[in-house]
Amino acid sequence: MRIGVHPNNLHLRLSRLWPGAFAELDPVFVPYGEGRDTAALIDQGDIDFGGTGSTPPLEADARGLGVEYIAASAPRPANGAIFVRAASDVSTVADLVGRRISLIDGSFHTYLLARSLEGQGLVLSDVERIESGTRDSLTELLEGRVDAWVAMSPRLEKAIERSDLRLLLRCGAAIPNRSLFWTLRRTGLSAGELATIAAELNRIGREIAAEPKAAAQLLAADDRTGTDVDVWERVVRSRDFAVGPIDGAVLAEQQEEADTLHRHGHFHHSITVGQPLKTAY
C-alpha cells in the first residue's frame, strides 16, 4: 500500500514514524511536498491514498476525478488562524476589504477565509489572495508586503507567542477543520482495504493521544524547520487525533464547503459530494 505523506498532515506524518503502523498493508510511505498535490499523485498511481484538509478532495471532485472518502478526523479548531501585525489598523475581518492575504490557496485556508468574510457580508473577491507557496509568509507580513496571514501548526503556535503579531480569528470560530483521508474511486481499493486503513488510522490516533511526548519527540527528530520538542508537544496536545467513519454529518460539512466556495466563485460549477462509505471499526 503506497501511503502519501506530506508535512502538514500530522496523522500520516506520525504514522510513517510510528512503530508497526499499517503493517497489515505492507506499507510504502511516499513523501511529497503538500496536500494540494494529493489528487494528482493518486491519479498518476504514485500513491493509493492520502490525508489532507477538507478542501483538496473538493478540488479533486471539481476536476471530475471522483473522490472516495475513507475516514475523517475529529474537528481541529486550534489548527488554523488569521494573523495581522500588532500595529495594523485591521481590527475585524470586515477591515480586510481590499487587503492582501497570504494563504495556501486551495487548502482549508481558502475555506477559512471565505467563511470568515461571509460572516461580514463579504466574499473572496473583496480581498486579494496571495499564494504563500514556499515564501516566508511571516516575514512578508512583518515587512508589510501582505496585510494578513492564514497560519497553521506548527508556525501558528510560534506566532501566537509573538508580540509583533495579533490574532484576528481562530479557525474554530468559522469551520470544523477536519483531516480527511481519501482516495479516488478509479484506484480500486477493496472494501476490506478501505476498512483496514480506517481502523488503522483510528488505532494510531489513539496511541498518539496516549503518548503525546513520544509523538512530539518523533516529530522534532524528523523536523527540518527547527521546531523544538516543546512546540511539537503543544501541537500534539492541542488536537484530537481520533479518527472516525465518513458519515452523513461529515459529508454535509463537505457539501456546505463546496457550496460556499462555489458561491464565492472559487469553484466555477457546483459539486455534489459522494455518498458515505460504510466502514466498521
Mean pLDDT across the stretch 86-111? 97
- The CATH-assigned architecture of domain 2-75+178-263 is 3-Layer(aba) Sandwich (3.40)
Kindly report, as residue ranges, where domains of CATH 3.40.190.10 are found in the chain: 2-75+178-263, 81-173
- The Cα angle at residue 208 between residues 28 and 37, in degrees rounded to 5: 45
The mean predicted confidence, pLDDT, of the chain is 94
Rg (CA), the chain: 18
Mean pLDDT across the stretch 170-192? 93
CA distance 90 to 88: 5
3-state secondary structure 96-117: HCCCEEEECCCCHHHHHHHHHH
CB 195 within 8 A of CB 112: no
Q: What is the pTM of this model?
A: 0.91
Q: Say if residue 224's pLDDT is above 50.
A: yes
Among candidates 127, 154, 151, 152, which has minimal Cα distance to 141?
A: 151
| Beta strands at 81-85 and 180-184: parallel, antiparallel or unpaired | unpaired
Report the CATH number of the 81-173 domain: 3.40.190.10
Taking only the tens place, the pLDDT of each residue in 55-74 is 999 999 999 999 999 999 99
Taking only the tens place, the pLDDT of each residue in 161-180 is 999 999 999 988 789 999 99
C-alpha dihedral, 44 to 50 to 53 to 59, nearest 10°: 20
Tell which phi-psi region holds residue 100, choosing left (phi > 0), alpha (psi between -120 and 50) or beta: beta
- DSSP 8-state secondary structure symbol assigned to residue 268: S
Q: Of 36-45, 218-227, 263-272, where does mean pLDDT reach its minimum?
A: 218-227
